[in-house]
Amino acid sequence: MDVSVRTVKESDFTALARIYNHYVSTTVITFETEPVTEAEMAHRVSEALATSLPWLVAEAAGCVVGYAYASKWKGRCAYRFSVEATIYLDASHTGKGVGSQLYKALIAAIRAASMHAVIGGIALPNEPSIGLHERLGFKKVAHFEQVGYKQDRWVDVGYWQLLL
């Protein structure tokens, strides 16, 4: 599949919300329970970009098929070299290598921003996400049991870390 990765732009916000809202309404991958508006997605993008952290999109045949971004890990100053990485793909583009290409580009952008640690949180179970993170060198560093409740069940969360 021919995919290009680029920095997010304003015209992407509708596609970002569409991709994300699929996971909001049908999975426990995100703990949000209400759909996100295009305006809210625009706000989230502007927050990330205001901190000079990357927000990338994957595009195939002129359509946004995924996105990935880095956000502050915690608010305290000593955490300033650590970020949380997030990735979402259009459901029809999973398992095709898009995630690997997009996440590799995100890691390169995070490295270029002089970050030291990248942390990925995964709602469990989620073998595809675990596999993606581990193929890229992330190591599991934490497992929190039953910290989320969605779709009438308790959900565990694991954290994977990559030191750059």
Backbone angles phi, psi at 132, to 5 degrees: -60, -50
- Burial pattern 38-76, b for ≥16 Cβ within 10 A else e, equals eeebbebbeebeeeebbbbbbbbeeebbbbbbbeebeee
Residues in a beta bridge with 142: 159
Is residue 80 predicted with pLDDT exceeding 90? yes
Return the axis-axis angle of helices 13-26 and 38-50, rounded to nearest 10°: 110
Separation between Cα atoms, residue 157 and residue 126, nearest integer Å: 10
CB within 8 A of 119, min separation 6: which ones? 73, 82, 83, 84, 85, 141, 159, 160, 161, 162
Separation between Cα atoms, residue 64 and residue 57, nearest integer Å: 7
Global pTM reads: 0.94
Q: What is the mean pLDDT of residues 70-87?
A: 96
Residue-range definition of the domain harbouring residue 73: 4-163
Q: What is the pLDDT of residue 56?
A: 97
Q: What is the pLDDT of residue 49?
A: 87
Tens of pLDDT, residue by residue over 95-154, are 889 999 999 999 999 999 999 999 999 999 999 999 999 999 999 999 999 999 999 999
Domain count, the chain: 1
Give the CATH number, domain containing residue 70: 3.40.630.30
Dig out the tokens for 47 from the structure: 């927050």
Dig out the tokens for 3 from the structure: 């995919």
Compute CA 66 distance to the chain's CA centroid, rounded to the nearest angstrom.
9
Is residue 87 predicted with pLDDT exceeding 80? yes
Tens of pLDDT, residue by residue over 19-68, are 999 999 999 999 999 999 999 999 999 988 898 999 999 999 999 999 99
Cβ-in-10-Å burial (0-12, 13-18, 19+) of 3 comes to middle
